[in-house]
Structure 1
Amino acid sequence: MPKALIPLADGCEELEAVTLIDLLRRASIEVITASLKDAPVHCSRGTRLLADCLLDDVLEQHFDLFVLPGGLPGADNLNTDARIHTLIRRLEAEGCYIAAICAAPKVLVENGILKGRTLTAYPGSLAAIDTSHVHLTQQPIVIDGKVITSRGPGTAMDFSLQLIELLTDKTVRDRVEAGLQRP
């Protein structure tokens, strides 16, 4: 069974975080949510989430997918946490899929793993950082090798379904999508 890690930081976009958690679990992917601190996570719209564990508890584990929900200041809180950057580098070296949505691709840009790669992100979320070493597009979802990025809350469901297909197969993705009764 594939295993995914979703770190949760104060200010994360709850629609993205919950959509990722829910859809990946519907696909029988083991999802571990890990908070940066020992307290409920206060999301960008006031929702509180209780993570499965602390990030420190899973720093040495192997994952098939590491996915960063966006939102502000959630993406900034992820970006300033050295443990997140260490995990990104280690998991990328191990061949793990690395994914980010909305403002969270800024963490990957700042980390350096997107050098020379194509990505997408929430409009304006990368304005304050140097993106001269990446190719930024306006596509809803971009897959560049084992790095997957997406634009924002409106793309969260398609992003999650794409991740399911990458971790499992199209049959599982189609089964999960059929259960959602999307038009």
Structure 2
Amino acid sequence: MANVVVPLADGFEEIEAMSIIDILRRAGINVVIAGLHDGYISSTRGVKVIPDTTIDKINPDDFDMIVLPGGQPGTDNLNADERVKNLIKHFYNKGKLTGAICAAPYVLSEAGVLEGKKATSYPTYKDKLKNVNYLEDMVVEDSNVLTSRGPGTAACFALKIVEKLVGKEKADEIKKATLFDKCC
């Protein structure tokens, strides 16, 4: 079974985080929500989520991928946390999948993993991504890095992750069962 860690910071984008977590779990992927601190994490719009653990308690070697949801100030909170950047670098350097959506590709850029790669982000973050080949596709894959644009692309992003970790057949099965085959 594939294992994915989703770090959550206060101010995360609800649609992105919950869509990713839900779709990956539907695919049988073990998703661990790791808060940046103990207790609940509050989203951009005040939705409170109790993470499975904290970022300090995870072992990155136990996971196949790290996925960062966007949102503000969640992205800035992720970016300000050196533990998050160290995790990103660890995953990337080990050749593991590294993903981010919306504003969060900015955190990947600041961690140095987007240099020279194809990537996308929420449109207002385009200029914050350093030395990337910026694309406006819903989901962009370049080697072991996946990026996506925002709340409206979260399901497509999650389905691409399922495809990478479990296979296209499983992604297509979930797409059909959730009626996302009508939109992505």
Whether these two folds match at TM > 0.5 is: yes
Which residue, 136, 142, 154 being the options, matches 1:144?
142
Superposition deviation, residue 104 in structure 1: 0.2
Quote the residue 2:118 is aligned against: 118
- TM-score if structure 2 supplies the norm length? 0.94
Provide, for residues 22-70 of structure 1, a one-character-per-residue CA deviation record: whole Å limited to 9, x for no partner: 0000000010000001121110111111100011010444311100000
Answer whether contact 1:95 1:146 (CA < 8 A) is retained: yes
Quote the residue 1:97 is aligned against: 97
List structure 1 segments (4+ residues) > 6 angstroms apart after TM superposition: none
Distance 1:39 1:61 in 2: 24
The one-letter code matched in structure 2 to 1:143 is E
How does 1:32-181 map onto structure 2 within 5 Å? 32-127=32-127, 129=128, 131=130, 133-181=131-179
Distance 1:158 1:86, change over 3 A: same
Answer whether contact 2:7 2:36 (CA < 8 A) is retained: yes
Answer whether contact 1:162 1:173 (CA < 8 A) is retained: yes
Distance 1:130 1:144, change over 3 A: closer
Distance 1:152 1:177 in 2: 18
Distance 1:10 1:165, change over 3 A: same
The count of corresponding residues between Structure 1 and Structure 2 is 181
Distance 1:61 1:37 in 2: 21
Answer whether contact 2:101 2:121 (CA < 8 A) is retained: yes
Distance 1:84 1:13 in 2: 17
Distance 2:47 2:4 in 1: 22
Superposition deviation, residue 89 in structure 1: 1.0
* Identity, % of aligned positions: 42
Provide, for residues 81-128 of structure 1, a one-character-per-residue CA deviation record: whole Å limited to 9, x for no partner: 00011111111122210000000000011111111011100011244x
Where structure 1 has 5 or more consecutive residues not aligned to the other structure, the ranges are none
Distance 2:26 2:129 in 1: 37
**Greater share of helix:** 2
- TM-score if structure 1 supplies the norm length? 0.95
Provide, for residues 105-161 of structure 1, a one-character-per-residue CA deviation record: whole Å limited to 9, x for no partner: 00011111111011100011244x362x21212111100011000000000000000
Distance 1:174 1:130 in 2: 31
Distance 1:43 1:109, change over 3 A: same
RMSD, matched Cα: 1.2
Answer whether contact 1:59 1:87 (CA < 8 A) is retained: no
